[in-house]
Amino acid sequence: MMKLFKYLKKYTFFIVLALTFVVFQGLLNLYLPDLMADIVNQGVTRGDVDYILSVGGKMLLVTLLNVLSAIVSTFFAAKVAMLYGKDLRSMVFKKVMNFSLYEIDKFGTSTLITRNTNDITQIQTVVFMLLRMVALAPVMAIGGTVMAISKSPKLTMVLLVSIPVMSIAVYFIAKYTMPLFRSMQKKIDKLNRILRENLTGVRVIRAFTKTNYEKQRFEKANEDLTQTALRVNRIFALVFPLIMLIMNFTIIFLFWIGAVQVDKGSLQVGDIMAVMQYVMQIMFSFIMISMIFIFIPRASASAERVYKVISSESKIKDPEKPILPKGKGEIEFKDVTFYFDEAKEPALEDITFKAHPGEFIGIIGSSGSGKSTLVNLLLRFYDITEGEILIDGINIKQIPQKKLRKKISLIPSRPVIFSGTIEENVRIGKEDATEEEIIEALKIAQAWEFVSKLPKGIKTEIAQGGTNLSGGQKQRLAIARGIIGKRDIYIFDDCFSALDFKTDSRLRLALREKLKDSTVIIVSLRVATIMNSDKIIVLDNGKIVGIGTHHELMKTSTIYREIVASQLSEEEIA
């Protein structure tokens, strides 16, 4: 938590203001019982109405100032807390945007969302509480004690009993609630995860009629969280009555001892009342302090979670001495072996091949054979374990990531469509694209045939996640986005899969024309899609088991022959 607090530094001025007014408020609080004692001792008991009115007026003024200071200090405390929360949220967001896939895999999406929302809210709340209480409580506790002793040292002795009793009570409360708070954050994570999965997978869940099962799963997590929250609140429900009990007993004792002294004439009635109020203030400040002790651990669990995100360094770093590739997109893999974190088997092993500008390279292999992994490595989403990947003869580790990715256009297998218009989605590939360019890209991607039929054309709004488009339509939009900008290398990762054979072949023909000077890698499960490539790489279980043209591979690679045979027969059956 302390590590996160350093980001509060730039608000020092507001913090000082908030604290100053809090102290002011505390001092005014202490002044009130003193005035009241005067009214009782010198006004009420003597029947001096003028005195009562003048001191009463003073009390009103003090109360007014008190309220004003409270408002001002709350205002600044809230301002600091909110601005601080905003800073933390953008810090986490920026960090996550710069994460490599290692960190994204490591944390997981739902916890990153909880950390950026709920956890930061906890921290924000505590900052606000601290600003309000951290100065007020000591001022009132110490000031109250001093004032009470000045009125009657004997009466103040009551505190010697009630404060230890109260401290013990607070200790036990904190002891039981802290672990509960910690587990609550984890349960919120879990709830978010289930919710997310359900919302993104709602079609599958319906299709498999798993709605009830999912409902139960959500109910369970929800119930679990609720129970924990209830347990916390039950404990808190006890706190208030318990504290009131202790307080009331304290007051009874005060009156008891006080009454005896008043009888003896060694104490005035007003003083008893003042001491009583001071004792209440002191005890309230103890409650405040204990609240701080209860809420800080809760927030510090959150702070730890947020700090873990902020302090995570991306495992993939930019080079210290960057070199910019000058060529036109020549690719070379040299004995590349790659393990995912904690994986025992390599996802890719001894991958060696070359691709030149102007070439169309096909990659084929069963699903899970490592095709996507291979093309992702080229963009340095992960760092390879052994070997070298070169672009234009330069190791990609020596190229700044932004420059590297500017050279490559990757169209992933699962098309990602953002909410917005079709035009906006395509424009991501080239910010300053003209409308003609967008239409041209859509034409090449074979998307124009359906976009042109839409009443609003390229201005058509796409629902979040592209749910109002078919799979093939989404793929074609993603392709249009991928090819609109000029890049040296284009990678199509299995993104023709939802297209029918005719569209697929028309698309490839158009690509051949448009991308004839670039290095193009087409990943596919379908032989027909890659058959005409200049070079075909056959992947099996992370290894290259064949490389060459279709005709060469038909002669040399049994696996390739098997794939071809199985698909041709499938087509014939169809």
**Residue 347 interacts with ligand ADP (CB under 6 A): yes or no:** yes
Judge whether 468 and 523 are in contact, CB under 8 Å: no
Nearest to 396 by CA among 409, 411, 383, 412: 383
- The minimum distance between CB 232 and ligand ADP, in angstroms, equals 37
Q: Which of 152, 369, 401, 524 binds ligand ADP (CB under 6 A)?
A: 369
From ligand ADP, Mg ion, none, interface partner of 368 (C-beta below 5 to 8 A by class): ligand ADP
C-alpha angle with apex 22: 77 to 293, nearest 5 degrees? Answer: 70
Partner in contact with 67, chosen from Mg ion, ligand ADP, none, beta carbon below 5 to 8 Å by kind = none
Q: How far is the CB of 396 from ligand ADP (least distance, A)?
A: 18
Smallest distance, Å, CB 375 to ligand ADP? 8
Minimum Å distance from CB 511 to Mg ion? 19
Q: How far is the CB of 567 from ligand ADP (least distance, A)?
A: 16
- Residues 404, 396 contacting (CB under 8 angstroms): yes
Which residue from 34, 72, 29 is spatially nearest to 282, judged by alpha carbons?
A: 29
Q: Assess 373 for contact with ligand ADP (CB under 6 A).
A: yes
187 close to 224: Cβ distance less than 8 angstroms: yes
Nearest distance from C-beta of residue 446 to ligand ADP, angstroms: 23
Q: Shortest Cβ distance from residue 541 to ligand ADP (Å)?
A: 9
Nearer to ligand ADP, 34 or 349 (CB): 349
Nearer to ligand ADP by Cβ, of 68 and 559: the residue is 559
**Of the two residues 82 and 343, which places its CB atom closer to ligand ADP in the complex?**
343
Residue written as token pair 């991308």: 515
Cβ neighbours for 511, distance < 8 A, ≥ 6 positions apart: 444, 483, 490, 520
DSSP H helical segments within 485-526, as ranges? 501-514
By a kind-dependent CB cut-off of 5 to 8 A, residue 197 interacts, out of ligand ADP, Mg ion, none, with none
Residue nearest to Mg ion (CB): 372
Long-range contacts of 14-18 (CB under 8 A, 24+ apart): 14/76, 14/79, 14/80, 15/76, 15/80, 15/131, 17/72, 17/73, 17/76, 18/73, 18/76, 18/77, 18/80, 18/131, 18/132
The smaller minimum CB distance to Mg ion, of residues 250 and 372, is found at: 372
In this chain, which stretch among 15-23, 40-48, 292-300, 369-377 interacts with ligand ADP, using CB under 6 A?
Answer: 369-377
With residue 493 as reference, give the H or E element that holds it.
Answer: strand 489-493
The answer to whether the CB of 306 falls within 8 A of the CB of 289 is no
Residue 368 found at the interface with ligand ADP (CB under 6 A) = yes
Residue 168 is which amino acid?
Answer: I
Q: What is the 3-state secondary structure (H, E, C) of 456-488?
A: CHHHCEECHHHCCCCHHHHHHHHHHHHHHCCCC
Q: In what order do the strands lie in the sheet with 394-395?
A: 348-355, 331-338, 386-391, 394-395
- Of these partners, Mg ion, ligand ADP, none, which one is at the site of residue 373 (CB under 5 to 8 Å by kind)? ligand ADP
d(CA 311, CA 164): 41
Closer by beta carbon to Mg ion, 284 or else 492: 492
Counting contacts by CB under 6 A, is residue 526 touching ligand ADP? no
Closer of 152 and 369 to Mg ion (Cβ): 369
CA atoms within 13 A on the CB side of 389: 22
Stretch that binds ligand ADP, among 112-120, 225-233, 291-299, 360-368 (CB under 6 A): 360-368
Please give the C-alpha separations between residue 375 and each of 273, 380, 388, 480, in angstroms, as whole numbers. Answer: 80, 9, 14, 19
Q: Is 401 in the site for Mg ion (CB under 5 A)?
A: no
Instruction: Give the shortest CB-345-to-ligand ADP separation in angstroms.
Output: 8
* Nearest distance from C-beta of residue 533 to ligand ADP, angstroms: 17
Q: Name the token pair of 41.
A: 């001792």
Nearer to ligand ADP, 228 or 373 (CB): 373
Which residue, 371 or 407, is less far from ligand ADP as judged by CB?
371
Find the shortest distance in angstroms from Cβ 492 to ligand ADP. 12
**Identified binder of ligand ADP from the candidate list 43, 357, 365, 466, rule CB under 6 A:** 365
In a 10 Å sphere around its CB, with 0-12 CB exposed, 13-18 middle and 19+ buried, how is residue 417 labelled? buried
- Binders in 302-341 for ligand ADP, by CB under 6 A: 340
CB within 8 Å of 60: residues ≥ 6 apart: none
Per rule CB under 5 A, count of chain residues that contact Mg ion = 2
Question: If contact means CB under 5 to 8 A according to the sort of partner, which of ligand ADP, Mg ion, none does residue 105 touch?
Answer: ligand ADP
Binding string, 86-105, against ligand ADP, x = CB under 6 A?
Answer: -------------------x
Determine the 3-state secondary structure of 134 from DSSP.
coil
CA angle 358, 364, 369 (to 5 degrees): 130
Binding residues for ligand ADP, total number by CB under 6 A: 12
Short-list 285, 284, 292, 288, CA closest to 244:
284
Q: Tell me which of Mg ion, ligand ADP, none is bound by residue 108, counting a contact when its beta carbon lies within the kind-specific cut-off of 5 to 8 angstroms.
A: none
Q: Least CB distance from residue 192 to ligand ADP, whole Å?
A: 21
Pair type for strands 394-395 and 386-391? antiparallel
Task: Scan residues 405-464 and list those touching Mg ion (CB under 5 A).
Answer: 413
* Shortest spacing between CB 372 and ligand ADP, in angstroms: 3
Q: Determine how β-strand 461-462 pairs with β-strand 394-395.
A: unpaired
Q: Does 116 bind Mg ion (CB under 5 A)?
A: no
**Options 111, 281, 372, 519; binder of Mg ion; rule CB under 5 A:** 372
Residues that bind Mg ion in the complex, under the rule CB under 5 A: 372, 413
Residues that bind ligand ADP in the complex, under the rule CB under 6 A: 105, 340, 343, 347, 365, 367-373
